[in-house]
Structure formats: C-alpha cells, structure tokens
Amino acid sequence: MYKTIRPCHSRTSYWVLWVVTCCVLLFTISYTTPAQAEEYHLGLDSMRHNDVPKGTVTRGIWRSQKIFPGTERDYWIYVPAQYQDSIPACLMIFQDGSSYVREDGDVRAPTVFDNLIHQGAMPVTIGVFLNPGVIPGSAPGKQPRKNRSFEYDTLSDQYARFLIEEVLVKLNKMYTLSDSPDHRAICGASSGGICAWTVAWERPDQFQKVVSHVGSFTNIRGGHVYPALIRKTERKPLRVFLQDGKNDLDNLHGSWPLANQQMAAALSFMKYDYRFVFGNGGHNYIHGGAIFPDTLRWLWRDVRTPSK
Amino acid sequence: MRTLIGVTVLLFAQQVFAQDMPLTQVLIEKEPWQLVGEGFRFVESPASDKEGNIYFSDVPDSKIYKITPQGSLSLFARETGETTGLMFGKDGKLYGCRHKERSIVAYNLDATFQVVADNVTAHDLVVTSDGGIYFSDPSHKRIGYLSPQRSVAVVAKNLHPNGITLWHDGGTLVVTERDHPYLWTFRVEKDGRLSYREKYYLPLTLTSGSHLPGSDGMTMDRDGRLYVTSTAGLQMFDPTGRQGGVIVKPQQKHLSDIAFGGPQFNMMYVTCSDKVYRRKVKPQGIPFYGFSRDLSTNSK
C-alpha cells in the first residue's frame, strides 16, 4: 500500500507523485473510516494553548529482563509541569504508546493532560507510553518476533506483572507515585484496549481505572469470554470507560461492535462504575481521541492532587 | 522531500493495527481434501523433496513410502527402525529419527542410510539451511541440536516437545508441547543455542471433554503462516501468533502431520492415522530450508 517516493528532478512530477500517493492512502483509510472523519473533531482541550504550562516528555528503549525477556520497546514518560516530588502523583499507562503520545496524533495525551491538569479537571498524573515488545532477530535478515498480540491479547497476568514488577519498580525510583490502585489508570486501543482491561481484571490491587478505545474483546486469543466471566465473577472495584463505533471491525475474530456492547451489558448487569460511548466510528483512534478530554474528566472525577 | 515522506508516513501510520489472515487467504473453494493413500497402520512425517514428491512414514510398520504429484505410490524403504520426523536437507538427503535404534540418519535416494547421530532419542526434527538439526526428545523432555559438524547439545529443557519446525528464515524455532495447550517459540542464535522462549501460539481446544488441543506436527508457508495439526483439525496462525482458523480434518481420526508438496509446493499433504490426503491451497511452502527455486515463475 505504501509507495516509496523516488526523488524526482522535476518539481511538478514530484508533487504529482506525492498527491497520487496521498490519494491512494486516503482512499485506503477512508475505506475503513467512513463518515466519522467529518463527525468527530478534536476540541480546544486537545490543542496547545500558550498560557498552559507544558509538561516534559522523555523517550527511551525498554529492554525487559524478567517478564518478557528478549523484548525491546520504545517508551515515553510524560511529567506534568505541576509535578512535585513531595506530592504523590497519579499514573496513567498507555499501550501502543507512540500513537497516544504524538503531538499531532488523534489523541495527543500530553496536550490533553497539560490542559486538564492546569484546569484542575484531573489530578497531577504521570503518563507512561509503552509500545509493544519486539524480539529482534539474532542476525541480519532474521525476522523479529512481534510480541504485540502475545502481550496484549493473551488472557493472563503476564503483562500486568511486566508493568508491576518491571515498569513500576523503575518509575517508583524516579518519581513519587501514589500507591493507591484508584490513582492508577491504564488505557489502550484495539488489542491495547483489551490489554488494559486484562491488567485491571487480573490486578485490581494495582490498577482500577480502565480506558478502552475500540477494544478487541473478540476471539483473537480467547478474549471474547470476558462478558461471560464478568457476569459470573464477584464485582471488582474497577472504573471502566469503553468507546466503540458501529463501523468497527467484523472479521474472523469477531464483531467489535457486538463485543463491546456485550462488555457494556455485562458491566451494567454487574453494576460496575462504567461508561460506554458507541458512535459511528471505525477501527481507529478518531472518536476516542475527540472525546478523550471528557473521558479523563469522568475517569478522574473524584481524584484530586492534594495541595502542599 | 523528507518532510513530505514523513507526512505521508504519518498518514499511513494511523492504520497501525496488523493485517488479519483469514482462511479465505488459504483455502480454495471447491478444492476439498483428496485421498491419496490408504491402508496404512499409522502414518506420520510427510516430507517433500525438491520436485514435490512426498515421502512419509508408516511408523509401526517400519516403512517409508513415496508418493508423486501424479499420485503414484511406491515403497521407498523397509525396516526403518520405526523412523519418524522425516525431512529433506539442502544436501538432498532425507533425514529421519530411527528412534528404535536411538539414531538420527540421512537416507540416500536408494534407501541406504548413514547415521549422523548415535545414542539420541529423537521424535521429530527440522534441518536448517546449513545442515544443523534441531530434534525433539520427548522422553527426556528436551530439545537437542546436532550441529553441522555433528556435535550434539541440549538446547532447551523443561518442556515436553513433540512436533518441531522453523520460520523460513531459520531465526525462530517452534515446538509443540504435549503437556500444555500452547506452542513454544524460541529465537535461534547464531551458534545454534535457543533463547527467549515464549508461549507464542495458542491452538484452540475445541473437543468437549479435552483440556489440550492435541497439537502434533507443523509446517509453515512462505507468507509466515504456521499450520499445526490438532484434534480439532489443522490450525493456522499468522506471523504475529494470532489464530487465523481451523481447517477441518479429512477424517475423524488422529491428524498427525503436514507438509507442502507438489511441483509448486501448494499442495498440503497430511497424514491422518491410516490415510494420507492432499489439498490444493493458495499459499506455498518450501520442501527444505535453504530451498531457493523461484516459485513465482513456472521454471523447474
């Protein structure tokens, strides 16, 4: 699908080639994202404002030693301008971190955090954006093992333990974080969304706030059983935000719209503290990103950073 | 220029979720399983040579048969020491585990053989492009590696292996596990050691009353799909380990193993208890690692 742009000497042919490439890509994207490109827009809380203090974002590569040995992954840490070592901060972890952290992406989490923290609409929160792991090939020409589905779709506590026994251990040495599980949130999209749910489901003693965008509660690796499990398991102290759309995927793994509706129905039946937003979107971040500020307001509505 | 490329990449990068690989990419409508051999006691280990002929073992009968793409069946070897784990190497020899004699051998095309490893218990094997051999040793719950120089080492323990295969670039080893539902995946290091094991593939356990899928032999196609035989049928996985579907068994008996054969290597040959079947499919496999014939043309 993606065409390499060859350097052209002629400026006109260069631009024509670029326009053609973009048309091809936009057609491909529009095939999977009908209508909602016009319907859902980023609002002011997702834009930069000069009078809002800006947090810092640092980047690194995480090499897992213990839980996913052999994997490498990019990560970003966002620290709000208002963070102080003397006051424990809240924490929010994102799967597919590169998509959530991007300044010009569909979600722009650091910008939204800056705006909402400045408004006092959410507590001082450190954001940790983790990409899925990859096990590099052992030599040039050997394919890497992409770990995203294994890490995100598997129904087990392994990814939760990665966060708790590796990531949190390091974060706690760098920052002062609250150790209360209702001060910890986890967010993801697609397989990253079901991953967020799985982490909280497996370890509600550590994470109690979940945001899922177009979550893959389908049979990629057996995740379709969650609505059934929720209905027959004693309620866990979780707060859950689900976003999906009627044009989301319907394929060999399942129907995303139906699966998300099943999740919402199960959470409702068991009287969970949840919210389900079901629009017209497809399998992307557009709708979830457009409403992200309100999602965070709802998620953190009763949590405030204590004053000194 | 770089800015434009960057912007174009960003446009594309919104679609970050991996491509699915459903069975419609594999199966051809109105191409069912065809029976190509029957009357055996228990068949296993189909292996393809460079012409697409399939060799397979009737294990309790201690015989190896050959079947051509035209369907002509002949006896290749008798008194095989209940050979299992057949696979061709790049050198044109047919390797196998003569497990009654505790040896790994290389059969010549006249059915004579040389012992390449003695005093080893091996069930299934895979031959790398440089002539190394990884073999499963279920009786000792380990994986062995026979180097091209013919030294033997234990490269993985604490598992109960059965079938064994490699990704086509030889960089990742996959092993079925008799005691658990998942398949193990390892990175293959340059010196032959295995590292970073992971329960990467999870076949479905569909038969009621079972708690294990019954995974046995495996193979891969050139697009990176993995196929593993199981009680439910032939289960297919994409290169990120996601299950793409279950291909129904040709008969309701044990499905033990699979290999791609035929002149274009787009025929799946499966050994199913007392019968051998084949099925024409869309993807292509390779007969052995290091095989380099260009399959996109019809040249031989």
pLDDT digits (tens, 9 = 90+) for A111-139: 999 999 999 999 999 999 999 999 999 99
Instruction: Say if residue A1's pLDDT is above 50.
Output: no
- Most B CBs within 10 A among A145, A162, A191, A195, hence the mutation to make, goes to A145
> Which residue in chain A has the smallest CA separation from B198?
A68
**A181 with A197: CB under 8 angstroms?**
no
Query: A19, exposed or middle or buried, with CB in 10 Å at 0-12, 13-18, 19+?
Result: exposed
pLDDT at A180: 97
Minimal CA separation from A54 to chain B, in Å: 24
* Out of A25, A29, A143, closest to residue B169 by CB: A143
Question: For A48-64, how does the pLDDT look when each residue is reduced to its tens digit (9 = 90+)?
Answer: 999 999 999 999 999 99
Strands B83-88 and B142-146: unpaired
Helix, strand, or coil (residue B50) = coil
pLDDT greater than 90 at residue A94: yes
Range name among A115-119, A194-198, B213-217, B290-294 with the lowest pLDDT average: B290-294
Q: How confident is the model at residue A142 (pLDDT cuts 50, 70, 90)?
A: very high
- Predicted confidence at residue B11, as pLDDT, reads 42
Strand A125-130 and strand A90-94: the pairing is parallel
Length of chain A: 308
- For A153, phi and psi rounded to 5 degrees? -90, -20
Mean pLDDT for B54-74 is 97
Q: Does domain B22-293 have CATH number 2.120.10.30?
A: yes
Q: Which amino acid is at B139?
A: S
Minimum-distance CB partner of A150 among B172, B241, B245: B241
Token look-up 């699908």 returns: A1
Average pLDDT, chain B: 92
pLDDT of residue B208: 72
The pLDDT of B200-229, averaged and rounded, is 91
The strand pair at B133-137 and B142-146 is best described as: antiparallel
Which structure tokens are listed for B297?
A: 């043309």
pLDDT score for A16: 66
> What is the structure's pLDDT at A21?
61
Fill in the amino acid letter for B261.
Answer: G
Of B186, B198, B84, B6, whose CA–CA distance to A67 is shortest? B198
pLDDT bracket for residue A31 (50, 70, 90): very low
pLDDT tens string A244-278: 999 999 999 999 999 999 999 999 999 999 999 99
What are the DSSP calls for A25-77, one per residue?
Answer: HHHHHHHHSTTHHHH----GGGS--TTS---EEEEEEEE-SSSSTT-EEEEEE
- A22, A145, A191: residue with CB nearest B11: A22
Q: Which of A33-42, A197-206, B123-132, B133-142 has the lowest mean pLDDT?
A: A33-42
**pLDDT tops 70 at residue A101:** yes
Work out the burial of residue B263: count CB atoms within 10 Å of its CB; fewer than 13 is exposed, 13-18 middle, 19 or more buried. Answer: middle
Instruction: Name residue A91's beta-bridge partners.
Output: A126, A184
Task: Examine the pLDDT at B48 and tell me if it is beyond 80.
Answer: yes
Let me know: does A196 contact A187? Beta carbons within 8 Å.
yes
The ipTM, to two decimals, is 0.85
A222 vs B contacts (CB less than 8 Å): 202
Q: What are the residue boundaries of the structural domains of chain B, listed by start?
A: 22-293
B299 falls in which pLDDT band (50, 70, 90)? very low
Q: Distance from CA of residue A184 to its chain's centroid?
A: 14
Give the H or E element holding residue A227: helix A226-232
Question: Residue A304 and residue A272: Cα distance in Å, rounded?
Answer: 22
Residue count of chain B:
300
pLDDT at B211: 85
Pairing of strands A184-189, A90-94: parallel
